[in-house]
């Protein structure tokens, strides 16, 4: 890569956007393409909230990366017009005693070993501090004051403004349709409207569209990714005070055994959002199946009756099926294509990428510039990897 190159970034979700801004800051000319409108309504990054946690079971890489990212979230809050990261603390409680080898137990042990001020929870503390919870069902867990949630869609809008101010050329309503190649090297792209753009590198950051786009481009790595739909619910509580952040922090409810996690009352939307970090349903982004099913709603009602009695009959005022770009091992894929110089992928969020927004840009720009970083091996180009279960410890993978 020339020291100052022209980089074409495809996809203005959090992976593409942060890389575009960082590449521009490193002095490259950057064009950013997205069919839009932006933030794209079907993009995973576009939402009212995303969990910001450092809990990753025994995986020290993600915890270490989050130690840096959390500092930067706080710094972003300090220099931005409005704080979009809310440090409510995060709590992961269990229906059995926490065990070594399980998400909560390992997260607690690792956080303590790295000197974090985490607290062990129990039914008594839950009952006393967080009255919305059915403390008869949850007996152990960890509370971490560091962490909370970010208003992801608004973060995306904010970074779009900063990227344009930094000189990134935004091609909204322009989708990549084909790659231009000369002598086995990717030298640019053609858009769906037939326009062509030349560049020293193309960074594909198309989120859950990735497997479908790669298939359309005839790229063999398409099968390394799956687009998986997850149900999201917004509920209107009859007693909103019970769900305000100081009484209801971001949580995982025995998440690796139920998949359920959620947020306090949203400050502006006035709803309580709950979603499921489970197996989900595989589907393409524009699928007709992209609606929450009666079965998913019934499962939520069963969970609510068991865990949050005050929400058991609360009206569901909005639902959405949001799509993960899943890799087989559940780790991100931020790497250059060894077979096609000039092509780089930054994707594979696997349902847990947004919280790394403050460091994603570095990883994407490093991959474009051919620089290694502490997690290059974890996010490497790895089409050979096939796994039954992902390695992301919080993910619920199995029968309820």
Residue 206 touches ligand FAD, criterion: CB under 6 A: yes
- Would you say 234 or 352 has its CB closer to ligand FAD? 352
- Would you say 8 or 110 has its CB closer to ligand FAD? 8
3-state DSSP percent of the chain in helix, strand and coil, to 5? 30, 25, 45
- Would you say 89 or 351 has its CB closer to ligand FAD? 351
| Nearest alpha-carbon partner for 56 in 378, 391, 394, 357 | 394
Residue 249 touches ligand FAD, criterion: CB under 6 A: no
Here the tokens at position 84 are 């979009």
User: Whole-angstrom Cα distance, residue 153 to residue 139?
Assistant: 35
Q: How far is the CB of 385 from ligand FAD (least distance, A)?
A: 18
String of contacts with ligand FAD for each residue 264-303, x by CB under 6 A: -----------x----------------------------
- Would you say 33 or 143 has its CB closer to ligand FAD? 33
Residue 199 touches ligand FAD, criterion: CB under 6 A: no
Restricted to residues 220-239, the positions that interact with ligand FAD (CB under 6 A) are 230, 232
42 and 90 Cβ atoms separated by less than 8 Å: no
Q: How far is the CB of 225 from ligand FAD (least distance, A)?
A: 11
Q: ω before 39 within 30° of 0 (cis)? A: yes
Q: How far is the CB of 246 from ligand FAD (least distance, A)?
A: 20
Residue 205 touches ligand FAD, criterion: CB under 6 A: yes
- Would you say 94 or 174 has its CB closer to ligand FAD? 174
Total Cβ atoms within 10 A of residue 238: 10
133 and 247 Cβ atoms separated by less than 8 Å: no
The CA distances from residue 303 to 132, 235, 298, in Å, are 13, 14, 9
- Would you say 11 or 135 has its CB closer to ligand FAD? 11
H-state helical runs in the chain: 14-25, 60-79, 103-113, 123-129, 152-166, 210-216, 255-258, 294-307, 357-369
Q: How far is the CB of 101 from ligand FAD (least distance, A)?
A: 23
306 and 299 Cβ atoms separated by less than 8 Å: no
Catalog residues that contact ligand FAD under the rule CB under 6 A: 10-16, 33-35, 40, 43-45, 50-51, 175-176, 205-209, 213, 230, 232, 275, 322-325, 347, 349, 351-355
């Amino acid at each position: 890569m020339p020291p100052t190159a022209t980089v074409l970034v495809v996809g203005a979700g959090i992976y593409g956007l942060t890389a575009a801004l960082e590449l521009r800051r490193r002095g490259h000319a950057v064009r950013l393409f997205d069919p839009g409108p932006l933030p794209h309504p079907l993009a995973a990054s576009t939402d009212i909230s995303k969990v910001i946690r450092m809990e990753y079971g025994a995986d020290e890489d993600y915890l270490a990366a989050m130690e840096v990212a959390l500092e930067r979230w706080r710094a972003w809050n300090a220099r931005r017009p409005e704080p979009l990261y809310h440090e409510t603390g995060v709590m992961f409680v269990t229906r059995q005693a926490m065990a070594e080898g399980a998400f909560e137990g390992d997260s607690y042990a690792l956080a303590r070993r790295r000197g974090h001020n985490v607290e062990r929870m129990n039914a008594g503390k839950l009952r006393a501090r967080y009255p919305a919870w059915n403390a008869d069902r949850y007996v152990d867990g960890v509370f971490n004051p560091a962490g909370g949630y970010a208003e992801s869609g608004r973060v995306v809008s904010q970074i779009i403004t900063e990227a344009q101010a930094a000189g990134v050329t935004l091609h909204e309503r322009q989708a990549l349709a084909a790659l231009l190649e000369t002598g086995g090297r990717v030298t640019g792209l053609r858009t769906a409207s037939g326009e062509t753009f030349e560049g020293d590198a193309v960074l594909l950051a198309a989120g859950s569209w990735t497997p479908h786009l790669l298939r359309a481009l005839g790229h063999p790595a398409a099968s390394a990714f799956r687009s998986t739909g997850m149900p999201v619910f917004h509920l209107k509580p009859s007693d909103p005070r019970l769900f305000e952040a100081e009484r209801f922090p971001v949580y995982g409810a025995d998440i690796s055994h139920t998949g359920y996690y959620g947020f306090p009352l949203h400050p502006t939307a006035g709803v309580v959002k709950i979603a499921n970090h489970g197996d989900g349903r595989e589907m393409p982004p524009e699928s007709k199946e992209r609606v929450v099913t009666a079965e998913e709603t019934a499962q939520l009602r069963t969970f609510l009756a068991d865990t949050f009695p005050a929400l058991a009959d609360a009206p569901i005022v909005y639902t959405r099926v949001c799509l993960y770009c899943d890799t087989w091992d559940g780790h991100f894929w931020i790497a250059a294509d060894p077979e096609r110089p000039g092509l780089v992928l930054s994707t594979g969020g696997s349902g847990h990428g947004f919280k790394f927004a403050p460091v994603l840009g570095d990883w994407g720009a490093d991959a474009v510039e051919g620089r290694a970083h502490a997690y290059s091996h974890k996010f490497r180009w790895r089409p050979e990897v096939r796994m039954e279960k992902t390695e992301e410890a919080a993910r619920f993978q199995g029968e309820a």
